[in-house]
Amino acid sequence: MNTIERSERAIQNCKDILAKYLEFCNEERTPYVCNLKSTPQGYKEVEDFVIKVTIRGGNKVGFAIMEMERHLDPNYIIE
């Protein structure tokens, strides 16, 4: 298996895990992400963000979702 195939598998694995997370989206913990995922364009935006944070940054999908929530929620204080 070459590097491109490994990368494609990693991205697909990330998408599969994300789909499971978003299937049971917690409106209390991540209201902005849960709302965003309700449209095809929003889902794609969440997917792109999570792939970027997990594949490039080496983080877990759950962490990436919370990171996105922090970016979207004006109530979070980002210092």
- The domains of the chain are located at 28-79
pLDDT tens-digit series, residues 9-67: 999 999 999 999 999 999 999 999 999 999 999 999 999 999 999 988 889 999 999 99
Q: The tokens of 40 are what?
A: 């095809």
